């Protein structure tokens, strides 16, 4: 194994709680009341899929236009937070270590530019790193498209990739892409949930993954 594909929100950036409140507020503005824990479980899907899943769950219908509006408001609320989200413990150091050690890695996220730009900057991820965002593929996680696109752009084989993610959707997508996956607890899911979704190993956060790279043969 020789390469990593990282999810961004909840995996490298501590943004899950802010995302939950931003979705909850934007949905409330559209007249949809939904509890935070139900939104939390859906973070890591694309915005479109998340809204579809939540509308189904709370038995309310959002038109295509309403969904688009909710998604835009979510982005606004998220970006305008007085306390922008920071890298998770050890994330900057892990990224730096992989660069120094010439281990290939990329980012595959269901988020989109320009929203993800400050997050990438805070991790010191520049144009030399492959970043696959939602808009660049037809289907977001849990479909494997983002991961396969990232792997191809990195020029490595699927069998060489470890997918690192905090959400069930990352791990299901990894399974469908025939890649091994590493679950991180720092997005809020429990270890049982991550193992059930196919995680090969589960660690706390980027810092514990960094300390445990030897377990992965790296």
Instruction: State the residues that interact with its own copies by CB under 8 A.
Output: 14, 16-18, 20-21, 24-25, 28, 33, 35-37, 40, 83, 86, 88-89, 185-190, 192-193, 205
Q: Which is nearer to its own copies, 58 or 113 (CB)?
A: 58
Query: Exposed, middle or buried by CB within 10 Å (0-12, 13-18, 19+), for 4?
Result: buried
Shortest reach from residue 217's CB to its own copies, in Å = 27
Q: Which is nearer to its own copies, 172 or 179 (CB)?
A: 172
Q: In this structure, what token pair is assigned to residue 110?
A: 């269901």
Using CA atoms, how far apart are residues 199 and 187, in angstroms rounded to an integer? 14
Shortest reach from residue 87's CB to its own copies, in Å = 9
Using CA atoms, how far apart are residues 179 and 181, in angstroms rounded to an integer? 6
Q: In this structure, what token pair is assigned to residue 12?
A: 């490298």
Q: Which is nearer to its own copies, 61 or 80 (CB)?
A: 80
Q: Which is nearer to its own copies, 88 or 137 (CB)?
A: 88
Shortest reach from residue 88's CB to its own copies, in Å = 5
Contact 188, 16 (CB under 8 A): yes
Cβ atoms within 10 Å, residue 83: 6
Shortest reach from residue 58's CB to its own copies, in Å = 8
Residue 173: which residues within 8 A CB-CB, separation 6 or more?
141, 142, 143, 144, 146, 147, 163
Between CA 133 and CA 88, with CA 154 as vertex, the angle to 5 degrees is: 55
Using CA atoms, how far apart are residues 98 and 84, in angstroms rounded to an integer? 25
Q: Which is nearer to its own copies, 106 or 183 (CB)?
A: 183
Shortest reach from residue 202's CB to its own copies, in Å = 13
């Amino acid at each position: 194994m020789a390469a990593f594909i990282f999810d961004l929100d909840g995996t490298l950036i501590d943004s899950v709680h802010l995302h939950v409140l931003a979705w909850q507020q934007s949905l409330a503005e559209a007249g949809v009341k939904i509890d935070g824990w139900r939104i939390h479980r859906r973070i890591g899907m694309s915005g479109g899929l998340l809204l579809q899943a939540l509308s189904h769950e709370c038995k309310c219908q959002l038109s295509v236009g309403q969904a688009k509006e909710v998604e835009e408001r979510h982005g606004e609320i998220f970006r305008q937070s007085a306390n922008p989200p920071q890298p998770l413990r050890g994330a900057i150091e892990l990224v730096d270590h992989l660069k120094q050690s010439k281990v290939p890695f990329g980012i595959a996220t269901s988020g989109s530019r320009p929203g993800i730009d400050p997050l990438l900057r805070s991790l010191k991820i520049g144009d030399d790193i492959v970043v696959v965002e939602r808009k660049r593929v037809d289907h977001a996680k849990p479909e494997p498209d983002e991961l396969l696109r990232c792997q191809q752009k990195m020029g490595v084989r699927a069998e060489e990739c470890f997918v690192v993610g905090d959400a069930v959707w990352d791990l299901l997508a990894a399974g469908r892409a025939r890649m091994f996956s590493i679950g991180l607890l720092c997005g809020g899911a429990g270890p049982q949930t991550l193992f059930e979704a196919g995680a090969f190993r589960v660690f706390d956060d980027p810092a514990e993954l960094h300390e445990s790279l030897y377990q992965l043969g790296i």
